[in-house]
Amino acid sequence: MTNSEVLLEIRDLCVHYGKIQALHGVSLQVRAGELVTLLGSNGAGKTTLMRALSGLLPLSSGSVWFDGRDIAKVKAHRRVVEGLIQAPEGRGIFPGMTIVENLEMGCYGRKFATRTERKERLDWVLETFPRLAERRTQAGGTLSGGEQQMLAIGRALMARPRVLLLDEPSMGLAPKVISQIFRIISEINSQGTTVLLVEQNAQQALSRSDRAYILETGRVTREGVARELLSDDSIRAAYLGVA
């Protein structure tokens, strides 16, 4: 944790799909420099929350505060411009475009002052993901699942996020690849990018986070220091299969 400033705050957030309420008064905070995990099982409402934060779902009530102002009514593309950037669940890469072309799409809406600055950002992302650098002219659709996840995160980083929203980055990946993805997330955070991570892989997420929230059926039921939650018997039983 590098700063006490609250950069992203959700207050009493409620979201409906028609008459079905998916989120029930969710509140959480992310301070500048933190890596915060939102942990929950399938159907808990994690992706709904991320879509609401990104401006892709309307709020029934509540507010989203980013850098000191309520952005609940700000359009999704304007949130990107302001630095609230998501790497979505399912990766969402452009399969027919090369790795470099996919990465450059991350600049859309986030203007760079000069071409040199843009190239420096691309070089930094490729340095962060050596696997992508090795395959920079390869089509995104020919990459493995882990490589596609790296590409999705790299594309989000091209937009110079102030807060990076990661939705289930470990989904569908082999254990060895999951460990690699989480090491990269930790490295990104240590270099100064604030991260809100939505996950159901409790071991990897809690062991690398500053703080965490537990989401169950659309409600935050627990919050605290991540490593303390990881050692909690009830959390271990629910998410790690350890009694």
* pLDDT, mean over the chain: 90
32-57+76-239: CATH architecture: 3-Layer(aba) Sandwich (3.40)
CB-based contacts of 49, cutoff 8 Å, min separation 6: 10, 13, 15, 23, 26, 38, 198, 215
Distance of CA 154 to CAs 17, 134, 135, 212, 218, Å? 31, 14, 14, 24, 29
pLDDT bracket for residue 241 (50, 70, 90): low
Q: How far is it, in rounded angstroms, from Cα 238 to Cα 117?
A: 46
Question: Is the sign of the CA dihedral 113, 114, 117, 122 positive or negative?
Answer: positive
Task: Tell me how far apart the alpha carbons of residues 44 and 231 are, in angstroms, rounded to a whole number.
Answer: 22
**For residue 112, what pLDDT is reported?**
66
- Sign of the four-CA dihedral 107, 112, 114, 119: negative
What CA–CA distance (Å, rounded) separates 165 from 215? 16
The answer, as to whether pTM is greater than 0.85, is yes
Q: How far apart are CA 196 and CA 86, in angstroms?
A: 9
- In angstroms, rounded to a whole number, what is the distance separating the alpha carbons of residues 211 and 223? 8
Of the ranges 107-111, 158-162, 213-217, which is most confident?
213-217
CB 38 within 8 A of CB 198: yes
